[in-house]
Structure formats: structure tokens, C-alpha cells
Structure 1
Amino acid sequence: MTLAIMQPYFLPYIGYMQLINAVDTFVLYDDVAFINRGWVNRNRLLINGQEHLFTVPLKDASQNKRINEVHLADDPKWRSKLLKTIEQGYRKAPCYQTVMPLTEKIINFTTDSIADLVHFSLVELNQYLGITTRLVQSSTIYNNGELKAQERILDICRQENAQRYINPIGGTELYDKPTFAQAGIDLNFIKSRKIEYPQFNRGDGRTEFVPWLSIIDLLMFNDIATVKTMLTEYELV
């Protein structure tokens, strides 16, 4: 069994979805410290040919809280505002008619928890793309919060009987292959290949590609078959 563990990111970029697709079980690491100005509640879209950072507003978010303890802001208007931004930005995109209902379902999901919103969004994205990976929220099952860093990752691998653990390429300095090997676990790092696709031009006739935006951008411009191919555009090292 192959396992990956990542903090929950809202409407993440293709590399995050590649990692989900590469494993049998994907653990949403939602009982670790919330990181201000991270990707838990933010991502980027293409608006008027330029990247646009959107943020899901939170209530009293703090790095002293765990992600699963952080709540959405009380004002519900952020949902309609974000949907309006996406509509205005992508209504002329080739896959808008099929992707917008999915986007509306995700953003309008009734919850006050950012962790639960991300979990729901990933369940829906997986279903849309035909990804069968099991999703688990770490706060609901492992009961090992006293462990830190690599030791906690290894403990989750043991509890899941994982034979392989895959981590984003940025973790090469955090995790040690010999230590994982001693536990009977193969450690690999996933490295996305360059991915480009047609986007809108910038209004001046140029079509400069803006990479690594939210999965919503990629879905708006590519059909499911094309996206499934993109999900395999990586190498394990």
C-alpha cells in the first residue's frame, strides 16, 4: 500500500492532485499547526490574463491553533464573491459549463470548518476525475499527536501498513530514506514535470502561460481525459 500525507489545501494546484492520484491512501494532515499565509485557505486563479490570489476568510485563525480547529468567517458573502470572480474570469473557457457546477457545489458546501471544506472539495474533485484514492483526515483516526515530524509520519505509515511513502519533492531535507527503509518502507519524492495548456490571451494578443494555478484553472481549459494524462506527468525520485 502506498501512502502520502499533506496538509489540506483548498482547490490546490495540479501537483497536489498528482500526489493524491499516485497513492492508495492520502492523509489530510489537519491536526497540525495552521500556517498563516499558507495554502490551506488560499490559491491562485487567472483573472484578466493575470494571476489572482483568492482567500477563504477565516475567524481568529492563528498558528497556535490546529488546522481542524480553525473556522470559516461568519460572513457568508465570501462564497458568492468568489463564485462571481470565477464566473467573470472563466465564463468563456471551453469547459466552463461542466466545471462551474462542480465549483459551485464545492464553494457552497455548508460547513464552518476549513478542514472539512477542503476534505469535501477533494472528495468532489476525485469523483469528477475518477480518482479512487482513499482520503483520511488525520484528526479522526491516528491518535499520535504527541509524536513530531518524521516519527509521526512513520507511525502513520505503520498504522496504515504502508510499504511506500511518497512526499513532495520539497521534503527531501526533512525525511531520510535509510530511516524509512529500516521501518520497511520505501520513501520516494514526487517531482512534477512541466505542464502547459492553452489559456486566455492577455488582451494584447500575447498568450504567456501562467503556471501552477488552482486546479480550477486547469479544469476550465482541459477535458477530463486530458487532465487524467496530466495527473501522470511526474517522476518519482
Structure 2
Amino acid sequence: MTLAIMQPYFLPYIGYMQLMGAVDTFVLYDDVAFINRGWINRNRLLINGQEHLFTIPLKDASQNKRINEVHLADDPKWRSKLLKTIEQGYRKAPCYQTVMPLTEKIINFTTDSIADLIYFSLVELNTYLGLSTRLVASSTIYGNSELKAQERILDICRQENASRYINPIGGMELYTTPAFAQAGIDLKFIKAKRADYPQFKNDFIPWLSVLDALMFNDIPNLRKLLGEYELV
């Protein structure tokens, strides 16, 4: 069984989705410290030919809290504002009519938890893309939050009976192959390849939110994009 563990990101870039599609079980690491100005509640869209950073407003977010302890801001207007921005940016995109109802379903999901919103969004994306990946929130099952760094990752792998663990390429300095090999786990790193696709008539802007890829590509093309990576 192949496993990956990642902090929850809202409408993440396609490399995140490639990792999800490459494994049998994808663990959302939601009981670790929240990162200010990270990608948990932010991402980038294509608006008027330029990249546009959107941010979901949060209530008293702090790196002293775990991700699953952080709540959405009380003012619900951010939902309609974000949907309006997406409509303005993508209403002429080829897959808008199909993807916008999914987007509305995700953004209007009733919750005050950023972790729950992201979990719901990834389940919906998982289904839309035709993936069979099992999604698990780390806060709900493993009971090992006292462990740190690599030891906690290895413990989750053991509890899931994983034979392979895949991590983003940026984590090569965090994990050691011998430690995983000693536990009987094959350690691999995923490296996303840049996969261009038409974005209206402007020069391609890579690594935007996966929502951008959804707006411009049908399911067969999306599945091809999800395979544009290598394991090292």
C-alpha cells in the first residue's frame, strides 16, 4: 500500500493533486501547527491574464494553534466574493459550465473549520477526477501527536501497513532512506513536471490552483496532467 502525508491546502496546485493520485491513502496532516502566510488558506487564480492571490479569511489564526483548531472568519461574505472573482476570471473558460457548480458546492460548504472545508473540497476533487484515493485526517485516527517529524511519519506508515511512502521533492532533506528501509518502507519523492495547457490567449502561467486546470481541461486531459511527474 502506498501512502502520502500532506498538510491540508485549499484548492492546491496540480502537483498536490498528482501526489494524491499517486497513492492509495492520502493523509491530511491537520493536527500540526498552522503556518501563517502558507498555502493552507491561500492560492492563486488567473484573473485578467495575471496571477491573482486569494485568501480565505480566518479567525484568530496562529502558529500556536493546530490546523484543525483554526476557524473561518465570522463574516460569510468572503464566499460570495471569492465566487464572484472566479466567475469573472473563468466564465469564458471551456469547462466553466461544468466546473463552476463544483466550485460553488465546495466554497459554500457549511462549516466554520478550515480543516473541514479543505477535507470536503479534496473529497469532491477526488471524486470529480475519478481517483480512488482514500482520504484520512490525521487528527481522527492515529493518536500519535506526541511524536515529531520523521518518527511520526514512520508511525503513521506502520499503522497503515504502508509498503511505500511518497513525499514531495522538497522533503528530501527531511527524511532518510535508511530509516524507512529499516521499517520495510520504500521511500520515494515526487517531482511534478510543468505541463502547459491553453489559458485563453495569454502566455501560460504555471502552478496556479488546480481550479485553473479544471476550468481549461476536460477529464481525459486532466488525467494526463495528473500523470506528469516522476518518482525519484
Q: Which residue of 2 aligns with 1:40?
A: 40
Structure 1 unmatched runs, 5+: 202-206
Query: 1:1-237 to 2 correspondence within 5 Å?
Result: 1-201=1-201, 207-237=202-232
Equivalent residue letter for 2:226: L
TM-score normalised by length of structure 2: 0.99
Equivalents in 1 of 2:213, 2:68: separation in Å?
28
1:222 to partner: Cα distance = 0.4
Equivalents in 1 of 2:133, 2:118: separation in Å?
15
1:208 to partner: Cα distance = 1.2
Count, aligned residues: 232
1:236 to partner: Cα distance = 0.3
Identity over aligned pairs, percent: 84
Equivalents in 2 of 1:133, 1:113: separation in Å?
23
Equivalents in 2 of 1:47, 1:88: separation in Å?
7
Deviations 1:121-158 (Å, cap 9, x if unpaired)? 00000110101100000000000011000000000000
Provide the secondary structure at the position in 2 that maps to 1:213.
coil
Structure 2 unmatched runs, 5+: none
Equivalents in 2 of 1:145, 1:222: separation in Å?
39
CA RMSD in angstroms comes to 0.5
1:168 to partner: Cα distance = 0.2
Equivalents in 2 of 1:68, 1:123: separation in Å?
17
Equivalent residue letter for 2:208: L
1:193 to partner: Cα distance = 1.1
Deviations 1:10-40 (Å, cap 9, x if unpaired)? 0001000000000000000000000000000
Deviations 1:55-108 (Å, cap 9, x if unpaired)? 000000000000000000000000000000000000000000000000000000
Equivalents in 2 of 1:137, 1:161: separation in Å?
17
Equivalent residue letter for 2:29: Y
